[in-house]
Amino acid sequence: MSVTPFDQQNLPTGDGHTLFVAQYGQTDAPAAVVLHGGPGSGTQPSVLEWFDLSRQRVVLFDQRGAGQSQPHGEIINNDSTKLVADIEMIRERLGIERWMVVGGSWGATLALLYAAQHAHRIRAMVLRGSFLASQRELNWFFQSLRAMAPLAWEQMTLGWSEEQQQQVLATLGTQLLKGSEQEAEEAATRWGAYEEAIMQAMSGKLTLPAAPSRASARTIGKYRLQAHYLLNACFTGEADVLKAAKALANTPTVIVHGSHDLVCPPENAARLAKLMPHARLDWVVRGGHTPADPLIASALREAVLALQASP
């Protein structure tokens, strides 16, 4: 989708960061904000396909250090508390009273953390492929998923000691945050190739891993931010995320989760649903994790449409 924003800004946070913000659709229509995943992935214009831009106002922005926000890959003054404050700052700067919040993966985590403090500013919420910021999920992705993509995992950990293989995230994080430029590039390359293999496995296209291409500066910044957050328990924790979900009893919510999501296990959606009995849980049969999955994208369009008229 090629759509021109009606407004585009670079908003300073006051502590060394500048946020890229773009608005689409109709200025006087009900507003929605999309919180991208990662951390560090940046927003993608393709998410606009979930919305009817003739009847909605959609705000996209890149979180600190991600996408077009500057400085790229910066971890100083970058934590979940500041990201929550940024969301509220953007709402105030744009003069929006209340909005729909749509978050996927890490963005779903952030949506819940934002709601814990500003539920009265949210008229509806869509949570896709929810990440709960738990050690359980990190162990699953970096260690247990070896069983689903054994060749890719072996390629990611090639040449490592047994101790390093038992602490994949810590090993990658040390190289990204404390290593040389060459070590950071190699770690980002390994991480990215493994992540891509998991995405392929979810789509049923498990193939022999090819020699990974060298990570770009943008990719290195993305995984540097992910390492920064994941090694610090995302500066929150599963208990805080679940507590926030439990408190949203009056917020119209749709939880979208793929039955074949290997990145954020389906049990995450089941946990949220138990705490949010008012929410609609949409299981996407054979759906994966990425919103580029046509099945997931279709479910997101339906969820946004269902909540569009929320007061």
**Residue 258: partners with Cβ closer than 8 Å, 6 or more residues away:** 129, 202, 266, 283, 284, 286, 287, 288, 289, 293, 295, 296
Catalytic residue among 17, 69, 289, 293: 289
Which range (155-159, 171-175, 205-209) has the least confidence? 205-209
Residue 280 β-bridge partners: 254
- Give the predicted TM-score (pTM) of the model: 0.94
List the one residue out of 120, 47, 123, 133 whose CA is nearest residue 83. Answer: 133
pLDDT at 308: 85
pLDDT at 201: 84
Average pLDDT over residues 44-54: 94
The DSSP element (H or E) to which 156 belongs, if any, is helix 150-156
List the one residue out of 5, 1, 50 whose CA is nearest residue 26. Answer: 5
pLDDT at 183: 95
Average pLDDT over residues 163-179: 97
- What is the rounded distance in angstroms from the CA atom of residue 32 to the CA atom of residue 101? 6
- What is the rounded distance in angstroms from the CA atom of residue 290 to the CA atom of residue 177? 26
- pLDDT beyond 90 at 211: no
- pLDDT beyond 60 at 1: no
pLDDT at 48: 96
Q: How would residue 174 be classed by pLDDT, with cut points 50, 70 and 90?
A: very high
Q: At residue 59, what are phi and psi to the nearest 5 degrees?
A: -105, 125
**Residue 117: partners with Cβ closer than 8 Å, 6 or more residues away:** 84, 88
Q: Under DSSP, is residue 296 helix (H, G, I), strand (E, B) or coil?
A: helix
CB 253 within 8 A of CB 69: no
- pLDDT beyond 80 at 6: yes
pLDDT at 208: 56
Catalytic residue among 86, 240, 261, 282: 261
- What is the rounded distance in angstroms from the CA atom of residue 25 to the CA atom of residue 56? 6
pLDDT at 249: 79
For the question of residue 261 being annotated catalytic, the response is yes
- What is the rounded distance in angstroms from the CA atom of residue 230 to the CA atom of residue 70? 21
Instruction: Give residue-wise pLDDT tens across range 133-158.
Output: 999 999 999 999 998 889 999 999 99
Q: What domains can be seen in the chain, in order of their start residue?
A: 7-133+236-307 (3.40.50.1820), 135-233 (no CATH)
Q: How would residue 165 be classed by pLDDT, with cut points 50, 70 and 90?
A: very high
pLDDT at 207: 59
Percent of the chain with pLDDT over 90: 87
Burial class of 37 by CB neighbour count within 10 A (0 to 12, 13 to 18, 19+)? buried
Q: Under DSSP, is residue 194 helix (H, G, I), strand (E, B) or coil?
A: helix
Catalytic residue among 105, 130, 134, 228: 105
More confident residue, 208 or 296: 296
pLDDT at 210: 59
CB 50 within 8 A of CB 24: no
CB 284 within 8 A of CB 256: yes
Residue with tokens 């917020």: 251
CB 177 within 8 A of CB 227: yes
Average pLDDT over residues 104-116: 96
